[in-house]
Amino acid sequence: MAERPEDLNLPNAVITRIIKEALPDGVNISKEARSAISRAASVFVLYATSCANNFAMKGKRKTLNAGDVLSAMEEMEFQRFISPLKEALDAYRREQKGKKEASEQKKKDKDKRTDSEEQDKIREDDNDEDDERMEEEEQNEEEEVDN
Amino acid sequence: MADGFGCKEKCSDQRLVSLPLSRIRVIMKSSPEVSSINQEALVLTAKATELFVQYLATYSYKHGSGKEKKALIYSDLSNTAEESETFQFLADILPKKILASKYLKMLKEEKGEGDEEEDEEEEEGEDEDEDDESEDEEAES
């Protein structure tokens, strides 16, 4: 999948932003230091993946799951990450649940529309756009009634 | 859909992870033994990577040399990799920098010592054997 070596790099702009947010204001980060941290981050991903995969294999599972990643952090001596990671996982699950409910609601609203392309778009689009579309739809309906 | 972030504009300030999940997945999948990764594991790994970047940066800055100058430089990071046990796994990709002249000198010294000892022993052994054989031949004739 990763054809070129640069595919294994993380975007510099994002890495730089994360570093800047972590350090006190006005600290200068040398270019070499940035690229070193970026490389370190890629290696961290690989190391974490390999550790997590060991836990999955022990459990005779083929798919890495959240528990495997958390166990990996413990094994790698990054216990300090575990509680923020658990919080992030909870937030992610809440978000997914919210999305699911929202999309089910929309499905009900748009039962009339059988166009499958439209359905796919709804899932990907953000809420603002969906709201707009719903407004449009309402308007259309009103027009239809008027006619 | 599989890559997660449907909401690009509305939740950008409170997004869970800022690193691109697709790229994290490519890196994870580059490991040959990994067959599949569920979405939660992917999100957690991305988040962990962010925490790691923060931790590595702050740790290196705190223990580094550039505090007065308000700067984070490469040697701060290579020092961290060498001295901290948790960051030990980075030692190979964040090696300490040394001058080429120093390195060549080190190589020469190492090689010089090793070679001399081995060569002397081997030569001595071979010489003795040859001598013995030639003596035997002479005796027979």
DSSP count for chain B of H helices, then E strands:
4, 2
From B18, B38, B48, residue closest to A63, measured CB to CB: B38
List, as ranges, residues 2-41 from A with C-beta within 8 Å of B.
2, 7-8, 10-11, 14-15, 17-19, 21-24, 26-30, 32-33, 36-37, 39-41
> Tokens in use for B35?
């067959």
Residue B12 lies in a domain: no
Average pLDDT over residues B62-83: 90
In whole angstroms, give the CA distance from residue A31 to residue A20: 13
Structural domain harbouring B67: 21-111
The reported pTM is 0.69
Q: Write the secondary structure of chain A as one string of H (helix), E (strand) and C (coil).
A: CCCCHHHHCCCHHHHHHHHHHHCCCCCEECHHHHHHHHHHHHHHHHHHHHHHHHHHHHCCCCEECHHHHHHHHHHCCCHHHHHHHHHHHHHHHHHHHHHHHHHHHHHHHCCCCCCHHHHHHHHHCCHHHHHHHHHHHHHHHHHHHHC
Chain A interface includes B35 (CB < 8 A)? yes
Please give the residue that has the higher pLDDT: either B72 or A116: B72
ipTM for the complex shown: 0.71
Indicate the average pLDDT of chain A: 82
Residue B5 has pLDDT above 80, yes or no: no
Count CB-CB contacts under 10 A for residue A115.
Answer: 10
List, as ranges, residues 65-94 from B with C-beta within 8 Å of A.
69-74, 76-78, 81, 85-86, 89-90, 93-94
B93-135 pLDDT tens trace: 999 888 888 889 988 888 876 555 444 444 444 444 444 444 4
Residue B67 lies in a domain: yes
B36 bridge partner residues: A63
B6-54 pLDDT tens trace: 444 334 345 789 999 999 999 999 999 999 999 999 999 999 999 999 9
pLDDT of residue B97: 86
pLDDT of residue B136: 47
Chain A interface includes B106 (CB < 8 A)? no
Q: What is the CATH number of the domain that holds B32?
A: 1.10.20.10
Residue B5 CB contacts under 8 Å (≥ 6 apart), including other chains: B11, B15, B21
A97-135 pLDDT tens trace: 998 899 898 888 877 665 555 555 555 554 444 444 554
pLDDT of residue A145: 47
Residue B90 has pLDDT above 50, yes or no: yes
CATH for A1-77 (1.10.20.10, 3.10.129.10, 3.40.50.2300, 3.40.640.10):
1.10.20.10
Q: CA of B15: which chain A residue's CA is closest?
A: A92
Indicate the number of domains in chain B. 1
Closest CA to B52 of A11, A88, A43: A43
A26-70 pLDDT tens trace: 999 999 999 999 999 999 999 999 999 999 999 999 999 999 999
In whole angstroms, give the CA distance from residue B96 to residue B89: 14
Indicate the average pLDDT of chain B: 78
Query: Residue ranges of the domains in chain A?
Result: 1-77, 82-146
Tell me the pairing of strands A63-64 and B36-37: parallel
pLDDT of residue B132: 46
